[in-house]
Every structure is written in C-alpha cells, then in structure tokens.
Amino acid sequence: MPREPIDPSSFVQLVSSVYPDLRAELDEDDGLECAQMRTFCDHTQAAIDRGDMATVVTCFGIADRVIGEGDDSMQNAIHVSYLEHLDFRGTHGRQAFGNLTPRLRTGWQDINEYMEALLKGDWTWKEPPKKEPRSKRRRRR
C-alpha cells in the first residue's frame, strides 16, 4: 500500500521525531511550510558550520525523503526554503556538500541555475570552496 505524501503536518512530525528541540518553533509557524522549512534549513546550516556531519547526513536524509515523498507544497518548500539557502562556502562546506544525496544535489543545482538565470548572472552560488590551484599553494618545509 503506497504511503501518503509528506505534507506540512507530517514534515513537522518527521523532523521533531529526530530533533524534538525544533518542535516548538515548527509549531509556532503552523500552516507556513516555507517558514518551517527555513527552521529546518537553519538547523542544517548550523550543523554544516560546526562540522557536525552526522547531523548533516541525518538532515539531508530527511530532506531527500521530502523531495521523494513530499506533496507539491513540501517539494516546493525544499527548493525555495532549504536548498536555495544552504551555504557550502565555509570550512566544512566541501565535506557537507559531498554528503548531498543525488536528488538534493540535482535540486541544489537546479535552483541555483534558475536563480542565476532569473537574476541575469547576479546570483552568488553558495558552493563548496574550490581547491586552490597548485601554483598558489605554499610548500611546507
């Protein structure tokens, strides 16, 4: 028997079952799935910033499930209030970016390409840091 799509209510239940400390803030924004998704995004971003890859992987697993099983409003919220705002430029960005699932990576790429086209190139991709060219690295003695 197929599962019901993940709607805003089941999203709150899913997230708060793993992160009960987010429940009050999610409940405060009841009916505002994009605001609820931003709360989840902020939680994920904080984990990225502190290098807590276990939390990052868990958050990406939840987000991937919502992309795969979410109703239209939740799939939209993942794109515009989660993937669009994740910043992979910090110290732990490359490692976190490497943990994106294929669906999340595709969604992240799609939303950034869309924003770049919409803003006619005036969009800053929040991508993982580029490796420094070999010629610019200092040699260690």
pTM: 0.87
Express each pLDDT in 73-127 by its tens digit.
999 999 999 999 999 998 999 999 999 999 999 999 999 899 889 998 888 888 8
DSSP letter for each residue of 59-94: HHHHHHHHHHHB-HHHHHHHHHHTGGG----STTHH
Q: Provide the pLDDT for residue 134.
A: 42
Torsion angle, CA of 55/88/86/72, rounded to 10 degrees? -90
pLDDT tens, residue by residue, 35-57: 999 999 999 999 999 999 999 99
